[in-house]
Amino acid sequence: MRILGIETSCDETGIAIYDDGLGDSPEGILAHRLYSQIAVHADYGGVVPELASRDHVRKTIPLIKQVLADANLTPQDLDGVAYTAGPGLVGALLVGCSIGRSLAYGWELPAVPVHHMEGHLLAPMLEDDVPEFPFVALLVSGGHTMLVRVDAIGEYKLLGESVDDAAGEAFDKTAKLLGLDYPGGPALSKMAESGEAGRFKLPRPMTDRPGLDFSFSGLKTAAGTLVRKECTDLTDTELKQTNADIAHAFQQAVVDTLAIKCKRALQQEKLSRLVIAGGVSANTALREQLAITTKKLGGSVFYPRPEFCTDNGAMIAYAGLQRLKAGTDADLTFKANPRWALDSLPPVK
């Protein structure tokens, strides 16, 4: 079975075709393309929902045509169309939903609405080293930070989540305080590489109490206070180094917090396998720390390649294929779900 995946939940248009390998084609991604809207939103310092929606309108159909050409396929070679139905920006979601459902109707194919975070959760399945069920998943991005127990596809138990800012959101906001351009998260991580460890100390929020919930708003505020206190009356060279030291302290605080919570979750659930996914999972410092954490517990960590950490069509195609095999086929109506609980999804039988 081959399925087309469409991702338009925020500021990236991702299109891919995935094949289950049971026919003439090898299993895996036959083609994928991604268009990022960074240039569209850079002047505003963040995503402008209306501009995001309009850009998805312009880019989605051309990218679908390109992906079909890349795979040397026609719509008649497909067995279904999957599209992100939520969570995300409602206008952006509606673009993908309406295009995906319309194409499925016109091509006489099943339509499969996909949960964006289930796509991220299953993204490591696109790699050669695939985790076995059950495992604990850390989903960490600009919009979400959550820990989930995963017993099978669709069998999810929410263990903890952010009560305010997501980790990726805190990265972007702190980067802005340091004068970095949008998107600030990757730029802050790059700056942190030249920072001096130990010069500044920032809190590890909510690690001094039981539980698996997260909070990064206070950490962002603490970083802002540090910037205002330390980054005045400095030479350019001193300012550059001080900013790098603050970036290092902030990143280490986030990494330590996530690692502490992941360790707790694995011990609580008596599991040894950890999956990390979402945009922040591409962070090198986080990957290294979680590898150390899981090794000490006698376990292992799994994650997708960097290009599949951020939003992409391949993860939606893969997740959609699993739902399609289970019999999912949306009716002619479609609905965008800007808020959609992951643990409300039905299991795949």
Binding residues for Fe cation are 116, 120, 311
Question: 55: burial class by Cβ within 10 Å (0-12, 13-18, 19+)?
Answer: buried
Spatial distance between the Cα atoms of 279 and 91, rounded to a whole number of angstroms: 21
20 — phi, psi (to 5°)?
-80, -5
State both tokens at 210: 């039981």
319 touches 115 (CB < 8 A): yes
Residue 140's φ and ψ, nearest 5 degrees, are -135, 115
114-126 burial, b at 16+ Cβ within 10 Å, e below that, comes to bbbbbbbbbbbbb
Closest CA to 298 of 265, 266, 268: 266
Distance from C-alpha of 293 to C-alpha of 257, rounded to nearest angstrom: 12
Binding residues: 116, 120, 139-143, 172, 185, 283, 311
Residue ranges for the binding site for substrate? 139-143, 172, 185, 283
Asked if 328 and 348 count as a contact pair (C-beta separation under 8 A), the reply is no
Q: Using CA atoms, how far apart are residues 321 and 4, in angstroms rounded to an integer? A: 9
Please tell me the distance from the alpha carbon of residue 92 to that of residue 132, in angstroms, as a whole number.
33
